[in-house]
Every structure is written in structure tokens, then in C-alpha cells.
Amino acid sequence: MADQQVDVIVIGAGPGGYHAAIRLGQLGKSVVCIDRDEAGGVCLNWGCIPTKALLHVGEVTRQINHAGALGLKVAGLDFDREAIAKFKTSVVNANVSGVKTLFKANNVTFAYGQGSFKGAKEIELQGKDGSKTTYAAKEAIVIATGSAPIDVKAWPHDGKFIINSDDAVKLERIPKNLLVIGCGVIGLEFATVYNRLGAKVLVIEALPQILTGTDIEISKTLQRILTKQNVEIMLNTKVSDVVKEGERVKATFSGDSTKGKPETREFDMVLVAVGRRPVADGLNLEAAGLKTDERGFIAVDPQLRTSVPGIFAIGDVTGAPLLAHRAMKQGVVAAEVISGDRSAAFDPVAVPNCVYTDPEVATVGLSEEEAKAAGHEVRIGKFPLAASGRARTMNETDGLIKLVGDAKSDLLLGMHIVSPQAESLIGEGVIALEMGATLEDIGLSIHPHPTLTESIMDAAEAAHGKAIHIVNPKPRPTPPTPAGAAH
């Protein structure tokens, strides 16, 4: 018999879990939200929030280093690692405290410990002190256990010399030489952080481009900028061995960058950033009659229902894209479905993705390559930041705005940005896609001047050869009409 009974149990207090729990509380449900770590999950404690705090430190560092171009003389820049870590921790604590306050305000009980299924309606919570409490759900259980870094067994993770992203955010030391294995979002963000803090950084990727799956022109633009910032990048290159020797780590790799010959270098630290895996360990899903796919993900329908009635799943544990804002929206949808809203569903036109390098990359919708592969005749509009008056006033002219449209309907298919504040600018693309806007709609909309957002308008106008602030590309010649064809 259960020790406690509530309407809904939420397992996981990350972005998806706490959104689901709070929305359920707003809708009058009694809720217990369980997490074996801290409220806020990976995002608030080891992911989105702390990395962005560190990236902001790096951005300020770069601005100080380039202050001379603005007529400012700044001398004696120094890094206080402990003070930087303290700033990061204060940001994390403020956000975690905010979530706990919202839990209390919405009658959500937060419980520490490992939750595991005893059946389709019961969860056993094992507390950190070894105590066990059984919760029964009258209405539903929501699985929101997120994801964790993939550790490569051949390269034993020790948290100090061979590290993952959870270790990297702790900033326990700043290496002189850092190897980052993986040119995805996580790898490039930490390459930016540690490069700004004085480390010499090498990033190695087995595939032919950074940010695999991103629009190729955008990927190449960011690679060029990062290379200018002294981040060394090797593509089509594989790491074959990583071995710790004393206070150093030796890594052997080969590929295009080494002309096919094995090369060995020594590093103070190696960050393995080869992806993330869903976290379902310890849940005892079998007791609830649930199964995962071969990669460990839980299948759900648009209302976030699993194959077992009354059990929902949201966020990273349900598959790609592994993004906090996707999990947040799924959490709200699941809460509303549980509360009886039959119209609620997770069915976005597109989900934005942001990479917090410096400058940032933000994308939403189809890349040029994806649009062509889907059969669209594309119309491209581009605007370089070098032509932006606002970017010049910021001394930030490296970047590009790129719009992908359908040549026949003029509908926007995708928006891709390399720019300062790209993560905020991309919101315009999300709204435009959701509302079915055309490139003409974006170009006709009056944008404030001088701003970075007007570069989106300029890119839309460039797609039609109407841009004012750049030389418009010459229109493609119209193919001649075949003889005898109808006019």
C-alpha cells in the first residue's frame, strides 16, 4: 500500500519536469516532483545556465581584449578562476531557488531521491538517506529524466584530466592545452569558454563539418570565425587513443588534417563531447510495462502519451532534438492533456536550435541542403553583418543572416543566423514559420533602425533583389522557352 497518494507524479525536475509540475499545480492537481539531484536538472545545474554564465565571462573578456579598437585602454586583464566559478554558481543557485519558490507557490512537492516504478501507477522513492517512500498516482505519471553525457569506455573518464561536459562546467582549473573531441554544440561552446579563458584549444571532429546537420554555409562561416579566434579545428579526423600519463594526457589521431598519418600530442585536459544518451537507468520501466527503443528512448505520441495508459514522457528521454525549450513546451502540453484538454498537442512547425559560441549560431526550419532534398526550388536571401550599421557600432561585423524560401510560393522555409544575440534574433524566424510568412512579408515589415533585427529584413529583401544596404545578386537568367511551346 502506498505511503502517499497524489494526482500526478513527475520523475525529473529538469526543464521539462518542472514545467509539467508547475502547470499541473496551476491546473489544480496535487503533484510530487522527484529528482535524484537538484531542482532544475541538467539545464539549470550543469548545462544551459552555467555554460551561458561562463560564455558571458568569455564574451566580456574578448570585448576587453579588443577595447583598443574603440579607443579604450584596458591593461592588466587577469583571471580569478575561483571568482569566475563563484559567479557561475551564484547564477545557478538563483535559478534553482526560483524553481523551488514556484513549486511552493503552485503546491508542488519536491522530493529528493531515485524514483523507480513498482507498477504502472506506483513509484518507489529511495532517498539519499536510504529511506523508501511509495507514491501512488491517481491520474498519471510523467517521465522527464533527461539525458547525460556519453562516456567512451576506451577513454576512462576521471573528471580531472579526461572530462565530460558536467565536469567542464565546474571550472576546477583552466588548462594550458585542451583537446575537445566532438565539434557539436557542446564541444564548440566549451571550446569557446576555455579559449577565452586562455587555453590553447584543439577541436577534432570525425565528420566533414562542424555542427553536423546545420546549413553548410552557416557552418563554414562559424568555422572561419572560430579559426580567426585561434581555435584549431580538425575535420575528417578520428581520435584513436587517449591515455593519461602522470599530469598529462596523450591523444593520437589521424585523418585529413594529418594527411592520413597518426599524430600524437600532449594535453593538460581532454573533453569528450561526443553526444548525450537518454537517462532511464534505475526507473525499472519493466514493472510498468514500458520499453525503450534500441537507443534507449521512449516513444510517445503528439500528446506525449507512452504505450502504457496513464504514463507520459517528455524531453530528452523521448529523442531528438535534445533541447531544453522543446522539453519545456512538452511539459506544458503533457500537463494540459492530463488535465483533460483534448486539443493540447506537441506539434510545432519547427524547433529552434541555438549554439552559444561567440558569435552565436541560431537556426530554425530547413537548411538550404534540406530544402533542396525535400524537393523545393529554393530562393535564398543573405545579408552579411559587415553591411549592418548596428553591427559596426558594436565592432561585431563577423556574421551572416541567411533565409531559405520556396521560390514558387515565397514561403519562408528556414532562417539561419551567425551573429551576436542570434539566440534572441531567431525568435522572429520561429514566429514567421509558425504563421506561414513569406519572404515578402518579412521584407515589407518595418524593422527598427539601427538594430541587428533589421538585417533579417535586409536578407528577405535581398532574396527579391531589393536590398538597399548591399549590392543585390544578379538574378538568374530565365531559361529560353522551347520552340513550339505554348506562351
| Model pLDDT, residue 476 | 61
Q: For residue 50, name the pLDDT band (cuts at 50, 70, 90).
A: confident
Q: Is residue 90 part of a domain?
A: yes
Q: Which three cell numbers stand for residue 280?
A: 532511464
Query: What pTM was estimated for this model as a whole?
Result: 0.90
Cα–Cα nearest to 19, from 103, 92, 91, 113: 103
The answer, yes or no, to whether residue 388 has pLDDT greater than 50, is yes
On whether the CB atoms of residues 236 and 256 are closer than 8 A, the answer is: yes
Residues 192, 127 within the same domain: no
Are residues 33 and 130 both part of a single domain?
yes
pLDDT, tens digit, 9 for 90 and up, residues 11-39: 999 999 999 999 999 999 999 999 988 88
156-186 residue pLDDT tens: 899 999 999 989 988 888 999 999 999 999 9
Same-domain status, 318 and 400: no
Cis previous bond, 477, omega within 30: no
Same domain? For 239 and 211 the reply is yes
Shared domain check, 125 and 191: no
Assigned domain for 111 exists: yes
- Lowest average pLDDT, out of 20-24, 83-87, 225-229, 257-261, goes to 83-87
For residue 215, what is the domain's CATH number? 3.50.50.60
Say what the pLDDT of residue 281 is: 87
| pLDDT, mean of residues 234-257 | 95
Q: What is the CA radius of gyration of the chain?
A: 25
Tell me how many domains the chain contains: 3
The reply to whether 202 and 220 lie within a common domain is yes
Asked, for residue 477, whether it belongs to a domain, the answer is no
Q: Where are the beta strands (DSSP E) in 120-169?
A: 122-126, 132-143, 147-149, 162-163
Q: Give the tens place of pLDDT for each residue, 426-470.
A: 999 999 999 999 999 999 999 999 999 999 999 999 999 999 999
Same domain membership, residue 367 and residue 325? no
- The residue out of 310, 338, 366 marking a domain boundary is 338
3-class DSSP state of 15: helix
Report the pLDDT value the prediction gives residue 479, as an integer from 0 to 100.
55
By DSSP bridging, strand 400-406 and strand 412-419 are antiparallel
CB contact at 8 A, 202 and 179: yes
Closest by Cα among 351, 354, 402 to 216: 402
- Strand 147-149 to 276-278 pairing: antiparallel
Transcribe 175-220 into DSSP letters. -SEEEEE--SHHHHHHHHHHHHTT-EEEEE-SSSSSSTTS-HHHHH
Q: Are residues 406 and 267 in the same domain?
A: no
| Average pLDDT taken over every residue of the chain | 92
Q: What percent of the chain has pLDDT over 90?
A: 77
419 phi and psi, to 5 degrees? -175, 155
Cα separation, 6 vs 289, in Å, equals 21
Question: Is pLDDT larger for residue 216 or for residue 127?
Answer: 216
The answer to whether residue 485 is domain-embedded is no
Mean pLDDT (whole number) for 207-212: 96
- Structural domain boundaries, residue 115: 4-149+277-338
In a domain, 258, yes or no: yes
The residue from 222, 246, 274 where one domain ends is 274
Over residues 365-386, mean pLDDT: 97
Q: Considering only CA atoms, which of 100, 135, 111, 143 is closest in space to residue 338?
A: 143
CA neighbor of 42 nearest in space, from 103, 115, 96:
96
Contact between 463 and 412 (Cβ < 8 Å): no
Q: List, as one string, the DSSP characters of 252-292.
A: EEEEGGGTTS-EEEEESEEEE-S-EEE--TTS-GGGGT---
- What SS3 class is residue 298? coil
Report pLDDT for 428.
97
CA 148 vs CA 181, 205, 311, 446: distances in Å: 16, 20, 22, 43
User: Which one is catalytic: 56, 66, 376, 449?
Assistant: 449
**pLDDT on residue 161:** 95
Grid coordinates of 451:
538594430
Determine, yes or no, domain membership for 475.
no
Note the pLDDT of residue 227. 97
Asked whether residue 371 carries a pLDDT value surpassing 90, the answer given is: yes
Q: Give mean pLDDT, residues 412-435.
A: 97
370 with 317, same domain: the answer is no
> Tens digit of pLDDT for each residue in 268-302?
999 999 999 999 988 999 999 999 999 999 999 99
Same domain, 73 and 166: no
Task: Give how far Cα 142 sits from Cα of 55, 303, 316, 331, 388, Å.
Answer: 33, 12, 13, 9, 47
CATH number for the domain harbouring residue 429: 3.30.390.30
| SS3 assignment, position 48 | helix
Q: What is the pLDDT of residue 480?
A: 58
Tell whether the model's pLDDT for residue 478 goes beyond 60: no
311, 270: one domain = no
Q: How confident is the model at residue 473 (pLDDT cuts 50, 70, 90)?
A: confident
Is 480 inside any structural domain?
A: no
* CA–CA gap between residue 380 and residue 412 (Å, rounded): 10
User: Which one, of 411, 416, 410, 440, lies nearest residue 428 by Cα?
Assistant: 416
Residues 186 and 62 in one domain: no
- 449 part of the active site: yes
In a domain, 487, yes or no: no
SS3 track for 322-367: CCHHHHHHHHHHHHHHHCCCCCCCCCCCCCCEEECCCCEEEEEECC
Q: Could you give the C-alpha distances from 53 to 167, 191, 245, 344, 469, in angstroms and in order?
A: 15, 15, 32, 34, 35
Among 206-210, 223-227, 479-483, whose mean pLDDT is lowest? 479-483
Question: Does 487 score more than 50 pLDDT?
Answer: no
Burial class (CB in 10 A: 0-12, 13-18, 19+), 165: buried
User: pLDDT category, 484, cuts 50, 70, 90?
Assistant: low
